Structures are given as structure tokens and as C-alpha cells.
Amino acid sequence: MMKAAIVGFGTISIVHIDAIASNPGMELVAICDINADLAAKVPEGVKFYTDYKQMVTEVQPDVVHNLLPHYLHYPVTKELVEMGFNVFCEKPIALNSKEAEQFCALEAAHPEVKIGVCLQNRMNETTEELKKIIESGEYGKIIGIRGFVPWRRDNTYYESQPWRGKWKYAGGGSMINQSLHTLDLLYFLGGDIAKLHAVVGQTNEYGIEVEGDIIARLEFANGANGLFFATNNNWTNESVQIRVAMEKGVFHIEDNTLYKVNPDSSREVIVKAPKLEGIKFYYGASHTRLIARFYEAVKNNTDDYIHISEGAMVVRLMDSIFRSSNTSALVEV
């Protein structure tokens, strides 16, 4: 039985707790949060701490899940890695490209431990099947790719956790917190992005610092064109949509289903993947698979997991989007 510990008992922790509980080879032994009042909410039999260094020293977990606010992902993971613990870190890996490079250097300097990043949508069955279709070459090369994230975060979302609305702690808004996964998939599926032109703004009146709306035109190194649109100001949370147009076929992901789009706009179901239960159905349901893969890599000492170095590209893309918006210009990534 492999032991798991969690640092940060916030909103996303329930997804990780469920993923750990669903795997008979894992056991959640401890949770840490600076809010001592949360001790009453931990699952039965799980120890609660307010000091994560004390926690890992006492329980000696095989993997520590870093689920803290964004600005603590790198520094806390660094401390844990230097203590000799494997870490599974929630996205984003960093607030900016400079910090992402420091994270990559940390990974390279400590080959004796493993640091995984939670980009679970890469392991959605729809994503994996579309990746196979693209790489098969059966439909020719990609000519266009689009990602669309129409979600809603009202003011209570920011009031409940004020760090979410501040640049210093969150590193951004809609892009880094909600639509990072979709931006990552555009790169994952379409290949290197060479240039982009973007507009970033905020169309709500909450008084927060971070952005709520992004539109970016992407120029891929392979000649494909791309479009990324994300907002936190939709009237509700709708499914993420990804469309990939190739020379001989068009494919579309929506509502956890991969479709082949016919010339008459009708759709054929290729893969229908399971949905995450509950109100967060639109998150994607692959945390369990991704976390299980990381634990297997730790157990068997393999490299079959998503590395920190793989999570750095999406941070560079975000920085480039902000740079383009600030300069009103096409920029190189």
C-alpha cells in the first residue's frame, strides 16, 4: 500500500481525495492546511496537520499532493523535493516563465525523486484517441485548431478565496485558473506554437486584478492556424470545446465526446468518455487515471508520467499571450 499526503485542503482536494480512494493500492494518511478549523472535515482515519514539514516527517508519504494556491506550487514543492519526497503538483507549475524555468531546473537537479504535474485532460479518452488519429496521418496534416472555454465565475468565487483575484498570488485569472488545460491541449495536439496575437481583458465589475476574458490567434510552427477563446463571464459553465481540422477530416470534442464532423455538419461519435460526477462535470474525469499513473511510476521507478518540464510550455504560452495583449502586437513564443 502506497501512502499519500495532501498539502492544501481547498476546493480541488476532493477530486484528489476521490482519486486516491478509488485506487486500492493507495491510502490517504494525512492532510495539511493552515486553517485548523478544517480538521473536522478530514476523512475518518486521516491525520490532520497545520505544518506540512511536520506532516511529511512524521508520516513519511510515498507521494505528497501539492494543492496549495498557485504562488506556493514552486516554493513548497522545492522544499518537499529537497527533503526527498515525491510530489504530485496541481497546475499551474508556476506564475510565470522565469519561475517555470526554476521548476524545470529543480526537476533536473533531483533525479532521485519524481515531480508530476496535474494536466489530467491529456489523459481524457477523447484526447488520447484524437492524438492517435492526428499522429496516424490518415487525415493529412492539421490546418486549423480551436479551443473554446465558456465558463462562469461570479464574485462569490473571488470573495471566498481572495488570492484568486490578485496577480501576486494567482498569476492571472481565467487563463491560468480555468482554461490552462485547454490551452495546453492546443499545444499538445497541434504541436509547437511559433507566434500569437492576443487580447486579454475583463468584462465584469468585481474589482479584481486578474483577467476574465482571452482571445488569441495562434500561428503553429507546422503552418496550422489556431484560435483560443476563454471567458469566466459566461452565464453558466458549459463544456469545453476543441475542434481540429485536418486536410481530410474534421474532429470535435464536446461534452466528453469525440466526434468526426461530416461535410454536411452531422457528427459521428468516435469515443464517449465518462464524466466527472457532480457540479464540476465540466472539469474532465481523468484525475484518477493520471494520479494512478504517477503512483505506478513511483512504485516501479519509471518515467511514464507528465513531468514538470512538460508543464512549462503552457506557462510560456500564457506569458506570450499577456505580452501580446500588453503590446497590441504579434509576438514570438
pLDDT of 253-291, one tens digit each? 999 999 999 999 999 999 998 776 655 555 566 899 999
147 in Cβ contact with 175 (< 8 Å): no
pLDDT at position 274, please? Answer: 76
Predicted local confidence at residue 141, as pLDDT: 97
pLDDT at 317 over 70: yes
pLDDT at 321 over 70: yes
DSSP notation for 16-64: HHHHHHT-TTEEEEEEE-S-GGGGGGSPTT-EEES-HHHHHHHH--SEE
> CA 40, CA 59: separation in Å to the nearest integer?
19
Give the chain's domain count: 2
Q: Prior bond to 92 cis, omega within 30?
A: yes
pLDDT of residue 239: 92
The grid coordinates listed for 280 are 464540476
CATH number at residue 162: 3.30.360.10
pLDDT in tens, 89-112: 999 999 999 999 999 999 999 999
Residue percentage of the chain with pLDDT more than 70: 97
Domain end point (choices 105, 120, 135): 120
Please report whether residue 279 resides in a domain. Answer: no
The answer to whether residue 7 is domain-embedded is yes
The answer to whether residue 230 scores a pLDDT higher than 80 is yes
Computed over every residue of the chain, the mean pLDDT equals: 95
Question: Is residue 104 located within the same domain as residue 80?
Answer: yes
Q: What are phi and psi of 27, to 5 degrees?
A: -140, 125
In a domain, 286, yes or no: no
Runs of H (alpha helix) within the chain: 13-21, 52-59, 73-82, 97-109, 125-136, 155-160, 167-170, 180-190, 287-300, 308-327
Q: What is the pLDDT of residues 173-221, one digit of tens each?
A: 999 999 999 999 999 999 999 999 999 999 999 999 999 999 999 999 9
Query: Can you give the pLDDT at residue 282?
Result: 55
Whether 40 and 106 share a structural domain = yes
Spatial neighbors of 320 by CB under 8 A, at least 6 apart, are 196, 198, 331, 332, 333
Which residue, 120, 140, 171, sits at the end of a domain?
A: 120
Indicate whether 153 pLDDT > 60.
Answer: yes
> For the packed helices 97-109 and 308-327, what is the interaxial angle rounded to 10 degrees?
170
Q: Is 15 within the bounds of a domain?
A: yes
For residue 21, the enclosing domain spans 2-120
Residue 302 belongs to a domain: no
Q: Are residues 156 and 176 in the same domain?
A: yes
